[in-house]
């Protein structure tokens, strides 16, 4: 099949050869197929805590870790479902381009195709940054989509260039303009990637602006500075971040506590924004009398076992990855699910299962609880930001403001 058109006054005909259309359709078909498989895996992970996918290969090459995280959702819809819609849209635009007879319509469709391909490429770069920089895991299925989108952009570009070609006399000048546009597109992609990387990885605490906080959130400022400051031990627990960071957040938390999960999400957002300016120390304080001597009821009956499981993951140097999975799967903290999560992370299964029944693991949890009791903690989450006591969770913007206030010199407050 060939697409022909006569350009008024040009005295020639232009043919959009199938070899320019087929690569886009083939790549779109491959992307659609991978997206469908990815959506199936994502759905099974969401509905069946015991499910382990075929691409759970190792601790670092693991689709289950990536697709089981909160980053696998966009506006409450799975990213893989968005991908299915994306590739169907690409296919529809390509078919419409192949069938169009008017030159102006073809050029508009070709431009739309390039813009779609550019969006797919940029989104792939963003998701790759999340996988590598935040989750520290590679998803083989996602990697396949990255490759498809990398190849899709030049394929769409070549198709657009062929559609726009009007005469051999204009070819050289057109190629020069095409190169300029391509260079500009690459430059924009680099800028967007740099901005995204800054947001994901952080390069230091942003400039504190106490005056702005006082002006925009005076009630929060007054509330925050009125909270008591407590001497909190900096040792024990599980720590991440620079030991010399200007702000240390010590959190006593419960994996079955909904407010703790909200705080976890706020903290994750704050860490992405403010980077290495924060050190985080996590302590267990499950609201479950099975291990917490301060309580007389099992408010969260799976919290103790979940805390022990996190200690078992820490024994194999995967505490923080396992910590994230537990908060993302609060409705499924039974023993089989806990073992499944360990498998997803590539942990030694028999060693992990034996650890769940080890008195030493429980003792580590109870040591955290004893520290919390000595500090008068009776609810979760209870957080100390440079020693300042905060009970309950804070929204991401407020937590960022609290970190800014905590890191500022005392005289500036």
Domain of 399, CATH number, reads 3.40.30.10
Helical residues (DSSP H) of 135-257, grouped into ranges: 140-164, 168-201, 210-216, 218-226
Instruction: Indicate the residue among 201, 218, 240 that finishes a domain.
Output: 201
Beta bridge pairs of residue 251: 282, 383
Whether residues 177 and 225 share a domain: the answer is no
* pLDDT score recorded for residue 10: 39
| Count of CB atoms situated within 10 Å of the CB of 329 | 21
Whether residues 287 and 395 share a domain: the answer is yes
Instruction: Look up the domain containing 109 and give its range.
Output: 3-201
Whether residues 189 and 59 share a domain: the answer is yes
Whether residues 381 and 286 share a domain: the answer is yes
- The alpha carbon of residue 405 and the mean position of all alpha carbons in its chain are separated, in whole angstroms, by 27
Prior bond to 82 cis, omega within 30?
Answer: no
Whether residues 340 and 318 share a domain: the answer is yes
* pLDDT score recorded for residue 49: 56
Whether residues 180 and 267 share a domain: the answer is no
| Count of CB atoms situated within 10 Å of the CB of 183 | 10
Whether residues 188 and 218 share a domain: the answer is no
* pLDDT score recorded for residue 36: 95
Whether residues 373 and 284 share a domain: the answer is yes
Whether residues 250 and 364 share a domain: the answer is yes
Task: Could you list the beta-strand ranges (E) of 54-100.
Answer: 73-74, 77-78
* pLDDT score recorded for residue 374: 94
Whether residues 232 and 183 share a domain: the answer is no
Instruction: Indicate the residue among 148, 180, 201 that finishes a domain.
Output: 201
What does the pLDDT profile of the chain (413 residues) look like in tens digits?
A: 444 444 443 333 334 455 678 899 999 999 999 999 999 988 887 776 556 788 877 666 778 778 877 778 887 788 999 999 999 999 999 999 888 878 788 888 889 999 999 999 999 998 888 887 766 678 889 999 999 999 999 999 988 888 877 434 444 555 556 666 667 666 766 665 555 554 444 433 344 478 888 888 888 999 999 999 999 987 788 999 888 899 999 999 999 999 998 899 889 878 877 777 899 999 999 999 999 988 989 899 999 999 999 999 999 999 999 999 999 889 899 999 999 999 999 999 999 999 999 999 999 999 999 999 999 999 999 999 999 999 998 888 889 899 999 987 654 56
**From residue 322, how far is each of 33, 259, 260, 285, 319 by CA, in Å?**
30, 18, 15, 17, 5
Q: 256 φ, ψ to 5°?
A: -100, 0
Whether residues 169 and 229 share a domain: the answer is no
Helical residues (DSSP H) of 257-302, grouped into ranges: 258-274
Instruction: Indicate the residue among 201, 233, 250 that finishes a domain.
Output: 201
Whether residues 370 and 308 share a domain: the answer is yes
* Number of structural domains in the chain: 2
CATH label of the domain that carries residue 140: 1.20.1440.130
* pLDDT score recorded for residue 131: 81
- In angstroms, the CA 313 to CA 174 distance is 59
């Amino acid at each position: 099949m060939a697409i022909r058109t006569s350009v008024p006054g040009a005295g020639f005909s232009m043919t959009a050869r199938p070899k320019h259309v087929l690569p886009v359709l083939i790549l779109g078909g491959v992307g659609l197929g991978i997206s469908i498989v990815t959506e199936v895996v994502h759905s099974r992970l969401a509905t069946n805590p015991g499910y382990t996918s075929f691409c759970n290969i190792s601790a670092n090459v693991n689709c289950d870790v990536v697709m089981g995280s909160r980053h696998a959702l966009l506006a409450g819809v799975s990213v893989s479902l968005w991908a299915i819609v994306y590739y169907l849209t690409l296919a529809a635009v390509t078919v419409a381009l192949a069938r169009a007879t008017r030159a102006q319509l073809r050029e508009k469709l070709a431009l739309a195709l390039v813009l779609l391909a550019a969006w797919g490429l940029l989104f792939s770069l963003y998701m790759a940054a999340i996988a590598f920089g935040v989750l520290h895991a590679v998803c083989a299925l996602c990697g396949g989509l990255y490759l498809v989108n990398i190849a899709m952009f030049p394929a769409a570009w070549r198709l657009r260039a062929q559609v726009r070609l009007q005469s051999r006399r204009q070819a050289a000048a057109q190629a020069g303009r095409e190169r300029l546009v391509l260079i500009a597109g690459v430059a924009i992609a680099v800028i967007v990637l740099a901005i995204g990387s800054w947001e994901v990885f952080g390069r230091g605490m942003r400039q504190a602006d106490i005056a702005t906080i006082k002006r925009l959130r005076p009630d929060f400022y007054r509330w925050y500075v009125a909270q008591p400051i407590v001497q909190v031990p900096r040792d024990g627990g599980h720590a991440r971040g620079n030991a010399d960071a200007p702000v240390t957040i010590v959190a006593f938390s419960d994996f079955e506590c909904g407010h703790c999960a909200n705080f976890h999400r706020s903290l994750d957002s704050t860490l992405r924004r403010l980077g290495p300016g924060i050190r985080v120390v996590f302590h267990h304080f499950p609201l479950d009398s099975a291990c917490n001597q301060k309580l007389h009821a099992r408010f969260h009956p799976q919290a103790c076992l979940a805390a022990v499981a996190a200690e078992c993951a820490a024994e194999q140097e995967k505490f923080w990855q396992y910590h994230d999975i537990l908060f993302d799967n609060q409705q499924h903290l039974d023993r089989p699910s806990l073992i499944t999560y360990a498998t997803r992370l590539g942990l030694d299964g028999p060693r992990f299962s034996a650890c769940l029944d080890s008195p030493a693991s429980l003792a580590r949890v109870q040591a955290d609880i004893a520290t919390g009791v000595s500090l008068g903690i009776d609810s979760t989450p209870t957080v100390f930001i440079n020693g300042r006591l905060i009970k309950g969770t804070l929204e991401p913007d407020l937590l960022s403001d609290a970190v800014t206030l905590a890191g500022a010199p005392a005289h500036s407050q």
